[in-house]
Structures are given as C-alpha cells and as structure tokens.
Amino acid sequence: MVAESDILKALSIIIDPDFNKDIVSLGFVKNILIDGGKVAFTIELTTPACPVKEEFRRQADEAVSALSGVEAVDITMSSKVTASQGKQGIPGVANIIAVASGKGGVGKSTTAVNLAVAMAQTGARVGLLDADIYGPSVPRMMGLAGYKPEIDHENKSIFPLENYGVKTISIGYLVEDDQAMIWRGPMVASALGQLLTDVVWGELDYLFIDMPPGTGDAQLTLTQKVPVTGTVMVTTPQDIALLDCRKGIEMFKKARVATLGIVENMSQFICPHCGESSPIFAEGGAERLSLEYKTEVLAHIPLDMSIRIKADEGTPIVAAVPDSEQAKIYQALAGEVARKISILNNRKIDIPVIMQG
Ligand code: ADP
C-alpha cells in the first residue's frame, strides 16, 4: 500500500510560482486519506481565485496517480484567504482593496463592479463599498437602484444589499436621488465614516472600495481611516489620465499603501461591427508608468460597447455573459489581484515582493 510519505514526496515537485516553494513545504497539502488503492487529499490555497488552481490539481493528480499501488485519486481544492497582517480594521473583513483613479470618467466604477463580481465567482466572500458619495454608481451597475438596505437605528447597524454574490453598500441606497450632491464637506465625511464603521459585512475575504475619483484630501483621509491592503489604479491610456494616475500612485505611496498594480481601461476600441481593435487612445503608457513605479499592469480592458451597455442595465458583463472574452479579462484581473494580496500577506514566507508600500 502507498504510504503518506510517498504522496508528500510526489506532491513536493509542485512549485507555487508566487512563493517559489513547493506546495508541501508551504503547508498546502492537508487531510491525506489512504484506503487501499484509493487516495484522497486537500490542497488548501491562499485564495479561491488562484490563477494556477487547475494547473495544481492537474499536476497533483498526475504525480500521485503515477505512484505504484494508487488506483484512484480524489483531490479537493480549497482555500483560506489570509488576512492583511496585523491590520484588521473592519470586523470580519480580511482584506480591503481600494479601486482608485486620478480623475473621473476613466471607468473606475465599472472596473470595481466587474472585478468584485468576478472575484465572487471564484467562491470568495466579497463586498463592495461605494465611497463615491458625490457620484454613486454602484446601485445602478449592481442592478440594485431603488433598493433600501435594512437599518438598525438602535444599534447603529446598516446591513448591506447583495446581488451577483457581492454584498454592497452605497450612499445611493440611503438617500434620495442626487441629494448627497449638495452636501458640504463635513456631511460627506460623516456619511463616509458611517459607511466605513456601521456596516455589518459578516465574514469577507475581500472588500473592494470604489474610491471617489481624484487625489485630494477626501481620498487620503479614507486611506487613513481604514487599513487598506492595497490599491488598484484605473487609468485610460491617454497622457492626461496617466498624469492623474501618477498623482494617485504618489498619494498612496505617501499614505504607505501598496499599489497592487494598474488597470488600463479603454485600452483598445473593439468595433461592434467587425470586431477589429484599434488603439484610439495610444499605446504603452500604462506599461511605462508601471516600470517607473515598479508595479505591474494587471489588465488591459478594451473600450467595448457591451461593457457599457451591461453596466447601464445593472448586470455587469461578468455576470451577464461570464464566458465572454470581456468577462475573461475581468476574471483574470481578479486572479491577479488575489495573487498580489496573497503575496503581500505571506511575505513572511520569504518571497521577493516587487511592489512598493
Ligand atoms: P468612473 O467611475 O471612473 O467615473 P465609470 O465606471 O462610471 O467611470 O465609467 C464611465 C462611463 O464609461 C460609463 O458609462 C461606463 O459604462 C463606461 N465604460 C467604462 N469602462 C468601459 C469600457 N471598458 N468599455 C466601454 N465603456 C466603458
């Protein structure tokens, strides 16, 4: 009969590319059960959104099946998301990710919504907090416009709404249309404070914050109020947007928040008639910026009519057509974000981190 040590030895050829160590040394292999020729075990990853999950399963199956005495292999892939080290600020929330942009209109909210839904599709527990008090677009994009969250005034608790597997909260659910537009600074700050402290999220692996656009005091205050694990900067390829993105990265750097990477939105125009792509906003800007700041371009998202239409309809493209090319880009982005967070949170296992912060 095969021994547990043979199985561990066979599995130790599988190297996690992010941690540069084998999955046995990393402690990912759990619950080995041997019943005659039948072998079962669990591989527990640091995120359900791991981009190499299926590859690990395939390699593990191949390695263990090749052992003599093994007739059947049953692998369970599971995950336990690691929390931002010593930084937990919102009860139950393991990681907070700010989705930010140097200026408005670059597609920050569209990216945040699709990213959150794509992350939830991996089985992760996900929340989305709309911190854009003056222009909340999460209710509409999440198909929840007009819905009201439950509020427990006595205990000062707000219960998030949920759609597409994502819990969300927005000022747009709490006040009548556009009312917040006329608020002055202190009111905005107090509303934001409530969204940060009074929402009962339950257990979340990832909470995305759709940040207000820009790089002023409001954004800085926000990053100081909650311990942000890292930020995803959204920009278009145009010079002016890149310039604003640069200001954003500088601001987060000052606030000592790691930049997980840059998303270049409206990267190419995909013609809805012939499908041809054209780089109408020029090319290569995000790459140059990422080199300068020693960070990475996490995704190039095309300027695509269906992305806009689905967002307007309240069914993000990732939820509406999960197998589409556009959805796959957001799903890959979710994998990249989860990867970066895992690397940041597991720095103690001695891995090269090419991120600032
Ligand atoms: P921001 O949050 O940066 O102000 P939004 O996410 O609200 O920007 O996007 C602005 C507009 O651009 C919206 O109408 C949205 O549907 C559209 N949009 C965003 N990203 C894309 C894209 N990749 N392709 C097509 N339209 C997009």
List, for residues 194-208, the tens digit of each pLDDT value.
899 999 999 999 999
Q: State the CATH class of domain 84-346.
A: alpha beta
Q: Look-up: residue for tokens 């590319």?
A: 17
Residues with Cβ within 8 Å of residue 185, at least 6 apart in sequence: none
Whether the model pTM is above 0.85 = yes
Contact 250, 357 (CB under 8 A): no
Query: Which residues sit opposite 13 in a β-bridge?
Result: none
Question: What digits encode the pLDDT tens for the residues 154-187?
Answer: 888 999 999 999 999 999 998 876 676 777 777 7
Intervals of CATH 3.40.50.300 along the chain:
84-346
Residue 105, CA atoms < 13 Å, CB-side half-sphere: 4
Ligand 1 mutation target, pool 99, 110, 329, most atoms within 8 A of CB: 110
For residues 73 and 214, the answer to whether their CB atoms sit within 8 Å is: no
Region(s) of the chain under CATH 3.30.300.130: 4-79
Query: Percent of the chain scored above 70 by pLDDT?
Result: 95
CATH 2.40.30.40 assigned to domain 4-79? The reply is no
Nearest Cα residue to 132 out of 219, 241, 207: 219
Write down the mean pLDDT value for the chain.
Answer: 90
Query: Stretch 308-314: mean pLDDT, rounded?
Result: 96
Atom of ligand 1 nearest to the CA of 210: 2
pLDDT at 244: 86
Best residue among 308, 313, 329 to mutate for probing ligand 1, ranked by most atoms within 8 Å of CB: 308
Residue nearest to atom 5 of ligand 1 (CA): 107
Q: CB-based contacts of 154: which residues, under 8 Å, 6+ apart?
A: none
Give just the sign of the alpha carbon dihedral 198, 202, 203, 207: negative
- Which of 105-109, 192-196, 306-310 is predicted with the least confidence, judged by mean pLDDT? 192-196
- Given a contact cutoff of 8 angstroms between Cβ atoms, the answer to whether 173 and 149 are in contact is yes
Mind listing the pLDDT tens digit for each residue in 268-281? 887 878 888 887 77
Q: Whose CA is nearest to atom 14 of ligand 1?
A: 308
Ligand 1 centroid to Cα of residue 110, in Å, is 5
User: Residue 77: exposed, middle, or buried by beta-carbon count in 10 A (0-12, 13-18, 19+)?
Assistant: middle
Length of the chain: 357
Is the CB of 101 inside a 6 Å radius of any atom of ligand 1?
Answer: yes
Query: Does the Cβ of 267 fall within 6 Å of ligand 1?
Result: no
Q: Residue 12, Cβ neighbours under 10 Å: how many? A: 16
Rounded to whole angstroms, how far apart are CA atoms 175 and 185? 16
Does residue 31 have a pLDDT over 80? yes
pLDDT of residue 283: 76
One-letter amino acid of 44? E
Residues contacting residue 101 through CB under 8 Å, at least 6 positions apart: 108, 211, 213, 214, 233, 234, 235, 241, 244, 245, 248
